[in-house]
Amino acid sequence: MTITITDVISIIQKVIDVLLVWLIFYFILKNIKNNVKLSLIFKGVAMILLLKVISYYLGLTTMEVLLEYIIQWGPIALIIIFQPEIRNILEQLGRSQLLGRHKVLTVDEREHLVYEIVQAMEYLRKNRIGALITIERDISLGNYIDKAKKLYADLSNDLLIAIFYEGNPLHDGAVIIQGDRISCAGAVFPTSSNSKINKRLGTRHRAALGISEETDSISLVVSEETGRMSVAIKGELYYNLSLDDIRILLIDELRPKQDIEFDEEEMDEEEIYEENN
């Protein structure tokens, strides 16, 4: 059997076609994982499809017909009901970085980053100075940086303290950190509409939670009224943390993914070794 150039081109086209489809699925699943609102929509759709399959095999005619109407008109209803969320998701997809973070930090750079932030938060806490510090990770915050006051300065606790000092015109907004540098100050984030948030928490906490619901960033908050420190990450707000809690959380969350996977493999090997002995 002779393979012609046309056959080779056809095979290459099919391989590229399959790879592109898998690439699309990869980015969709990646963004579902990083976005709380998108994951909730995905879980709801998956639940409806699961119920449809169960009702079909169990012969639940009424339920099956009802679910058929929901599936038929569901996409239109989702677009109308979740229009703001869908717009934010599309904007987020546009801001996503194909190669991850702007810069993969070395061990020394991560330690320096954590040290400077913790030192600044300790001063801000003691002096009851409100602050919102957000660390960008895989999903770009470029859209918020463009609308804020750009700095692109080396990270230091003195600079963070100066930015959030009450007399500074930028103290009300958020500081965004990319890699080991301060990219901007005075950034404005969308506030969370989560009804479970304590009503006594202010705009900074709601903004921190809001950006954590849309991106995979880490937001650190110092309360101006109480001096208490909080962290918003993955759509969750951890309130009234200690400096040690924040230090450990930052070290753990800022580690490169390959280091985390390596640690997990080491733990699995240790468990297998212990079982065999």
Please calculate the CA angle 167-119-158 and round it to the nearest 5 degrees: 40
What CA–CA distance (Å, rounded) separates 227 from 131?
10
Given a contact cutoff of 8 angstroms between Cβ atoms, the answer to whether 175 and 132 are in contact is yes
Do 86 and 215 fall into the same domain? no
Do 140 and 49 fall into the same domain? no
Q: Which domain holds residue 138?
A: 107-256
Burial of 99 (0-12, 13-18, 19+ CB in 10 A): exposed
The domain boundary residue, chosen from 67, 95, 123: 95
Do 158 and 56 fall into the same domain? no
Task: Give Cβ neighbours of residue 190 (< 8 Å, ≥ 6 apart).
Answer: 88, 207, 210, 211, 214
Do 121 and 217 fall into the same domain? yes
pLDDT of residue 216: 87
Q: Is the pTM of this model over 0.85?
A: no
The answer to whether residue 111 is domain-embedded is yes
pLDDT of residue 101: 44
Domain count, the chain: 2
Tokens read off for 247: 């230090």
From residue 255, alpha-carbon distances to 32, 45, 151, 168, 252 in Å are 21, 33, 25, 33, 6
Give the residue carrying structure tokens 């007399």. Answer: 167
pLDDT of residue 247: 94
The domain boundary residue, chosen from 60, 95, 130: 95
Q: Which of 23-27, 130-134, 163-167 has the lowest mean pLDDT?
A: 23-27
The answer to whether residue 275 is domain-embedded is no
Start-to-end CA distance of the chain, whole Å, equals 56
The answer to whether residue 264 is domain-embedded is no
The answer to whether residue 90 is domain-embedded is yes
Where do the H-state alpha helices sit in the chain? 5-34, 36-58, 61-81, 83-95, 107-126, 142-146, 157-164, 203-214, 243-253, 257-276
Question: Using one digit for the tens of pLDDT, what is the confidence trace for 31-74?
Answer: 666 556 666 677 777 887 888 888 888 878 887 788 787 777 77
Task: Name the more confident of 168 and 262.
Answer: 168
What CA–CA distance (Å, rounded) separates 265 from 125?
39
The answer to whether residue 261 is domain-embedded is no
Do 218 and 128 fall into the same domain? yes
Do 216 and 140 fall into the same domain? yes
Do 248 and 111 fall into the same domain? yes
| Nearest to 180, CA basis, from 131, 234, 114 | 114
The answer to whether residue 227 is domain-embedded is yes
Do 121 and 188 fall into the same domain? yes
The answer to whether residue 276 is domain-embedded is no
Do 155 and 60 fall into the same domain? no
pLDDT of residue 59: 79
Give the residue carrying structure tokens 């999903």. Answer: 139
Do 136 and 54 fall into the same domain? no
The answer to whether residue 201 is domain-embedded is yes
Which is it for strands 131-135 and 218-222: parallel, antiparallel or unpaired?
Answer: antiparallel
